[in-house]
Amino acid sequence: MKKAICHWVVGALGTWAVAGAQAQDIKIGYTADQSASGVAELGIAGRWGFEAAIEDINKAGGIMGRKVVGVVRDDQGTPPKAIQTVQELIDSEKVSGIVGPANSGNALAWLHIPQQKKIPVVVPIGTATEITTRYAKEPQNYLYRISMVDREQVSLLGAYAVKASKDKKIAILADSTGYGQGGIKDATEILALHGVKPVAVEKYGPKDTDMTSQLNKIKAAGADTVIIYGIADGAAQVLRSMEKVNYMPITLGTWGNLSSLLPKMAGTKLAEHLIMAASTTEDTSARTKALGQRVRVNFPTLTTFPCSAQAYDSVMLLAAAMKQANSTDGDKVAAALESLNKTEGVIKTYDKPFSKTNHEGLSVSDFYLARWKGSEVVRFEDDVYKSLKPADLKK
């Protein structure tokens, strides 16, 4: 029933937005899973950050004096539906830019469409490296990102692990999906840059509920620090298994663990044991706190705040590029994105965030560590984190 309601709400609001649009309005599309998979929580958070940015742009006079209309679509977590929504946004709704999606796999399924149609896209959630590099050798690459690239967040986790581990005995535990196996590769390479070889590398199935066998091997290898590479439900099972074998090493994980699935499945006490990478948290600044309060009006159970902040900033950068180009023409907007003047975002003030060869608006130097505290995610800082220097963040 909840899924049906969510579909109706997204569809109804998307239709309302289109019906209210006039010929002179500038349309920006948003597409992400908001109903069908474990990533839907991220997509919903991003959607309300997207809506907040459009509201602020219109309050400030719009773009070139024209009202901005957001066109929202739910890709339901599947590549075929994601392809359909992007085609609809570009061909039927005539959007001038797109923000989305949440799933990297969905993005990789439809990137060719805006690239061919010359429609700028800013990805606010998906982290797969190839999203912004697939068309890097083309005369113009139309794919940009304000999110945490997989290897970049591993750079932060790896640097922390090397400093935190007493004897540099670090283990990697990842799920057996492509995501997890890519994480093993990245984490192993990052640790090697620090002159460290993992004492153990173990895998688990995405539906496994007992990881005691893998953890016993890691424990026997003497690891005092473990990097988990998987999404929230798998990490929750790892934490529960750690408790079973009475083994609680320093435990690090990726930003997918911001999902409320982690405390729901592991319990709040165990969830607080995991240290995560994040681009921002609600308690970072007055601007992030204010956006969090606005998003909670529509999404009271918000836990994936970075998705809201990243989507908000993605819209702001698209709007700033259109203003700078004094046009919604895709080529001109893309060129403006690559030479963008200072633009105020929620995460930071962006000063030429993109270039012809770099379409990543955030880097490891922008990231933080975070931790669950009860039902909220807060910024995490200890003496180890404070001791990290830019030279430690190897990539």
| pLDDT tens track for 172-199 | 999 888 778 888 998 999 999 999 999 9
Segment 112-117 shows an average pLDDT of 96
CA atoms within 13 Å, Cβ hemisphere of 285: 12
Query: Which has more confidence, 77 or 331?
Result: 331
Q: What is the model's pLDDT at position 93? A: 95
Amino acid residing at 134: R
- Choosing among 3.30.365.10, 3.40.50.2300, 3.40.50.1970, 3.40.50.1240, the CATH entry for 151-278+368-392 is 3.40.50.2300
| Non-local CB neighbours of 208 within 8 Å, separated by 6+ positions | 234, 237
Instruction: Count CB atoms within 10 A of the CB of residue 179.
Output: 20
Bridge partners (DSSP) of residue 28 are 70, 97
Q: What is the model's pLDDT at position 149? A: 83
Place of tokens 């931790």: 371
Q: Report the distance separating Cα 201 and Cα 15, nearest Å.
A: 49
Q: What is the model's pLDDT at position 301? A: 84
Which H or E run includes 307? helix 305-325
Segment 51-62 shows an average pLDDT of 96
Give the closest residue to 31 by CA, choosing from 122, 128, 115: 122
Q: Report the distance separating Cα 45 and Cα 34, nearest Å.
A: 9
219-237 burial, b at 16+ Cβ within 10 Å, e below that, comes to: beeebbbbbbbbbbbbbbb
Amino acid residing at 58: N
Cβ-contact 38, 262 below 8 angstroms: no
CATH of domain 2-148+284-362: 3.40.50.2300
Q: What is the pTM for the complete model shown?
A: 0.81
Instruction: Count CB atoms within 10 A of the CB of residue 9.
Output: 15
Q: Report the distance separating Cα 309 and Cα 298, nearest Å.
A: 15
Q: Where are the beta strands (DSSP E) in 132-240?
A: 143-145, 170-175, 200-204, 225-229
Q: pLDDT above 70 covers what percent of the chain? A: 93
Residues of CATH 3.40.50.2300 domain(s) within the chain?
Answer: 2-148+284-362, 151-278+368-392
Q: Report the distance separating Cα 33 and Cα 3, nearest Å.
A: 11
Residue 390 has which token pair? Answer: 């830019």
| pLDDT tens track for 312-344 | 999 999 999 999 999 999 999 999 999 999 999
Q: Going by DSSP bridges, is the β-strand pair 97-99/143-145 parallel, antiparallel, or unpaired?
A: unpaired
Cβ-contact 45, 280 below 8 angstroms: no
Q: DSSP state, 366?
A: G
Q: What is the model's pLDDT at position 40? A: 85
Cβ-contact 162, 194 below 8 angstroms: yes
Give the closest residue to 72 by CA, choosing from 46, 106, 36, 41: 46
C-alpha distances in Å from residue 362, one per residue of 110, 150, 184, 313, 379: 23, 12, 22, 11, 18
Q: Report the distance separating Cα 32 and Cα 318, nearest Å.
A: 18
Phi/psi region, residue 384 (left: phi>0; alpha: psi -120 to 50; beta: rest), is alpha
| pLDDT tens track for 120-149 | 999 999 888 888 999 999 999 999 999 988
